[in-house]
Amino acid sequence: MNQILRPIGLLAELTHRCPLQCPYCSNPVELDRKSGELDTATWKRVFGEAAELGVLQLHLSGGEPTARSDLAELVVHCRAVNLYTNLITSGVLLDQPSLERLYDAGLDHIQLSIQDIDEANADRIGGYRGGHAKKLDLARRVVALGLPLTVNWVVHRQNIHNLGRMIDLAVEMGAKRVEIAHTQYYGWAFKNRRALMPTYRQTLDAIALVEEARKRLEGVIVIDSVVPDYYARFPKACVGGWGRRAINITPQGRVLPCHAAETIPGLVFDNVRDKPLSEIWLNSQAFNAFRGTDWMPDLCRNCDRREVDWGGCRCQAMAIAGSASATDPACSLSPFNATLRAMAEEDSAAEPDQFRYRRFGG
């Protein structure tokens, strides 16, 4: 493979079933039903193909991946083909025997999402009563077992005031890593942006707070932060550049360059039921549509940052600029940047809407 790099990470959405209903869920608004999910044998084949293709880290995600009864069996297989396994979980379904099965299967890492430090608010955001207490309990059991824990906080206007205490709680829990993930406004979060968008001031304060904590807690906890791009000067290199590093597979086996790629009309997604993963990675129309720099508008192609941010996010260009091959409107050089900013400012000043909870059937 000369021009096309080998992928590094695979995000496997094992199922879209989930007991939580977070209004910023990264799953598509049209969720896959259980009846169409890939079976155990197909996932195993795909994981083997992924390892051969060069994938190093496998993210077992969903929905809620622990809703799959074959999860431990899949982890055993991943270890056998030398994939690093990361479980991305809401934590509310993992009883002690299930957790120990995953440990024995060789799971490398658990990433647990928590909605807020305030229990009532956390349960309200997740749309699942009692969820917060279960999450705290799981965190204790994960650390006691000796599995490395990352706590993932999705940050938005309804919890950003607690950001400092979120980091403190992750340290108290014994997490080795904490992720501050400012909400990315696609799919469900796009529907809910009037309830979720923080103000510019809140965003700046949050960035400063994370920088301070990172210095203070060096050697204690690793802090990673996903910066909110609505208020940024340059866009993020979404998925590390389209078709460069990452693969996303839906519960039904569609192979996507990013989890939101299905919001872009005209892309053709291949399915792992029909073709080997390597062939899809190399030849699928969807992966080649925005690979490299040839597809870029002049603004991006002539920019020094073209191989830094790879033109930013295609889905955001689609949603705001109306064209997936436009410069990401999060870029300050984009003609649509003012539109994006105005939207963010208006949404952040709005009276918070009722959440539109993530549910089957939208």
Partner 1 sequence: MDALGPQSVPRLPRGVRLSHDQARDRWLLLAPERIFEPNEVALAVLRLVDGERSLQAICEELGRSYNADPALIMTDVVELLGGLVQKRLIET
Does 111 engage in binding with partner 1 (CB under 8 A)?
Answer: yes
Q: What is the closest distance, in whole angstroms, from the C-beta atom of residue 29 to partner 1 in the complex?
A: 27
Strand blocks (E) in 74-176: 84-89, 109-114, 149-155
282-301 footprint of partner 1 as x/- string (CB under 8 A): --------------------
**Residues binding partner 1: number (CB under 8 A):** 26
Determine the interface stretch with partner 1 among 117-125, 142-150, 198-206, 300-308 (rule: CB under 8 A). Answer: 142-150
Q: 61 in helix, strand or coil? A: strand
Residue from 108, 118, 137, 345 touching partner 1 (CB under 8 A): that is 108
Contacts of partner 1 in 196-255 (CB under 8 A): 218-219, 221-222, 224
Regarding 124 and contact with partner 1 (CB under 8 A), the answer is: no
Cβ atoms of 154 and 181 within 8 Å: the answer is: yes
Query: What is the C-alpha to C-alpha distance for residues 158 and 199, in angstroms, rounded to an integer?
Result: 11
Closer to partner 1 at the Cβ: 6 or 275?
Answer: 6
Give 3-state DSSP helix, strand, coil % of the chain, rounded to 5.
40, 15, 45
Judged by CB under 8 A, the stretch of 33-41, 175-183, 195-203, 322-330 that binds partner 1 is: 175-183
Q: From the centroid of its chain, how far is CA 184?
A: 9
**Adjacency order of strands within the sheet including 9-13:** 222-226, 177-182, 149-155, 109-114, 84-89, 57-61, 9-13, 246-249, 255-256
Alpha-carbon span 149 to 136, nearest angstrom: 12
Q: Which stretch binds partner 1 (CB under 8 A): 34-42, 103-111, 335-343, 348-356?
A: 103-111
- Contacts of partner 1 in 147-166 (CB under 8 A): 147-148, 150
Within 13 Å, how many C-alpha atoms sit on residue 81's CB side?
Answer: 23
CB-nearer residue toward partner 1: 240 or 352: 240
Q: How far is the CB of 268 from partner 1 (least distance, A)?
A: 26
Per-residue binding letters, 47-86, with partner 1 (x by CB under 8 A): ----xxxx-xx------------------------x-x-x
CA separation, residue 38 to residues 196, 249, 305, 335 (Å)? 33, 10, 39, 42
Q: Give the nearest distance from C-beta 131 to partner 1 in angstroms.
A: 23
Look at strands 246-249 and 109-114 and give their pairing: unpaired
Amino acid (1-letter code) at residue 190: F
- Does 101 engage in binding with partner 1 (CB under 8 A)? no
* Tally of residues, the chain: 362
Burial class (CB in 10 A: 0-12, 13-18, 19+), 210: buried
Q: Is 4 in the site for partner 1 (CB under 8 A)?
A: no
Nearest CB to partner 1, comparing residues 2 and 354: 2
Binding site residues, partner 1, CB under 8 A: 6, 8, 51-54, 56-57, 82, 84, 86, 108-109, 111, 146-148, 150, 176-177, 179, 218-219, 221-222, 224
